[in-house]
Amino acid sequence: MYEIYLTLYKEWADNLDLLNRISSGSRHSVFLNTDGTVTAFGNNTNGQCEVHDWRNIIGISAANVHVALNTGHTHTIGLKEDGTVIAVGNNQRGQANVTDWYDIRQITTGWSHSLGLRRSGQVVAVGRNTEKQCEVSCWEDIVKVAAGDWHSLGLTNKGTIIGTGNNMKGQIDIREWNDIKDISCGYLHSLGVKIDGTVAATGSNKYQQCEVTEWRNVHSVSAGSYHSVALNKDGTVLAKGSNQFGQCNIENWTNIVEISAGPTYTLGLKEDGTVIGAGSNKYGELNIITPST
């Protein structure tokens, strides 16, 4: 039975969705065009949208999922074809010091820290480490990483999870999780998709963002500040949690291939390369420019 599981897990891991084409920041959104260029819009207080000259990009991450007065001061990072990483925006905590990274296959960002997954299965991190969210140097056999505001998760090649950082709401109480194939970190909660298509959740449930036990046939998840979003295998989506800004009004979306939950809004990438959104557009983060197709 275990050998069968490993075979199934390897087949899944080989097709892991590591490279994001859409990414929701706190007040800005980023899109990866099919020609390797990047488009960004929304708040540009710290130059986090200055990506017009980026080339040969294969993955992107826009920082922050927390709703707070200081969250406009964020950054954006991009993964290049050669495994190096580029960054723009706020660097107050060193979160954009990624120019010496190499052999990277996936990137992700929290509020003030950035994570990079090497092809070796090891993880690198820069930025704020007050809550030990960057204490990842001992991680091995990782196939995907996720960053929340103050915590970090790593998915191992055995389907288990490693966590570090702030645990004030139990957001890294993930040691009992197994058979996991996808992970996502919100502000104070974490989500994991199991191989059977069900979803595990832990952490703050103030807005019922962790009440996802009834979800089935889920392909991937994305955690926002106070809401959770799931992409089903049939291209439909589910949402749970705070809907103060309409960020959960996505029940009629279809033909979706990727999702990204921000603090007060949600983005979806469709099969035809167009992007749709729901929720707050206070900073122009939903002024969507469709990526090249």
pLDDT of residue 69: 58
Q: How far apart are CA 250 and CA 237, in angstroms?
A: 7
pLDDT of residue 206: 98
pLDDT of residue 90: 96
Q: What angle do CA 272, 275, 278 make, to 5 degrees?
A: 140
**What is the strand order of the sheet 151-156 is part of?**
142-147, 151-156, 161-165
- Closest among 125, 70, 126 to 94, alpha carbons compared: 126
CB 82, CB 56: distance < 8 Å: yes
Domains, the chain: 2-279 (2.130.10.30)
Helix (H, G, I), strand (E, B) or coil at 79: strand
Return the structure tokens found at 38: 């990047």
- Closest among 147, 220, 159 to 190, alpha carbons compared: 147
Q: What angle do CA 269, 271, 276 make, to 5 degrees?
A: 30
Over 5-56, what HEC string results?
HHHHHHHHHHCCCCCCCEEECCCEEEEECCCCCEEEEECCCCCCCCCCCCCC
CA atoms within 13 A on the CB side of 65: 31
pLDDT of residue 290: 59
Return the structure tokens found at 123: 């993880």
Q: How many CB atoms lie within 10 A of CB 191?
A: 31
Q: Which residues of the chain have pLDDT under 50?
A: 1-15, 291-293
pLDDT of residue 3: 44
pLDDT of residue 73: 75
Q: How far apart are CA 56 and CA 196, in angstroms?
A: 35
pTM above 0.85, yes or no: yes
CB 247, CB 264: distance < 8 Å: yes
CB 124, CB 141: distance < 8 Å: no
Tokens 């090649």 belong to residue = 157
Amino acid at 150: W
pLDDT of residue 1: 38
pLDDT of residue 6: 42
Return the structure tokens found at 139: 């991680």
pLDDT of residue 12: 44
Amino acid at 266: T
pLDDT of residue 67: 66
